[in-house]
Amino acid sequence: MLRAQRWSDIRDLRARITGLESDAVQQEDLAAQREGMGKGKHDIVSKALLGMGSVGAVKFHVEAAKYRAEAARLREQLAQLESQNVAGASPVAAQP
């Protein structure tokens, strides 16, 4: 029963990590879009958009970093669970 719960937890953590990494990539894409606003153009409006885009992109970079930090924390939990799972399945660990 405990082993089945661990496997369920492992699957859940893997799914959450994948979701967080996907969210981080999406935030970085949004930041890149903001940073690219007005690039290559030299009129006043484009220069203003470029400046605003760079400032606005910071928010997306910060969010991406938060998602990656959370994913790293969950990867540590996953490693612990997986090592417990391997130790629990070892015949040496089962001996008194």
pLDDT in tens, 36-80: 765 555 556 555 555 555 677 889 999 999 999 999 999 999 999
- What does the pLDDT read at residue 64? 97
- What does the pLDDT read at residue 3? 83
Q: To 10 degrees, what angle do helices 44-89 and 2-36 make?
A: 170
Cα 57 from chain centroid? Answer: 18
Average pLDDT for 14-25: 98
- What does the pLDDT read at residue 34? 82
What is the C-alpha separation between 60 and 6, in angstroms, rounded?
A: 34
| pLDDT-above-90 percentage for the chain | 51
Mean pLDDT rounded to a whole number for the chain: 81
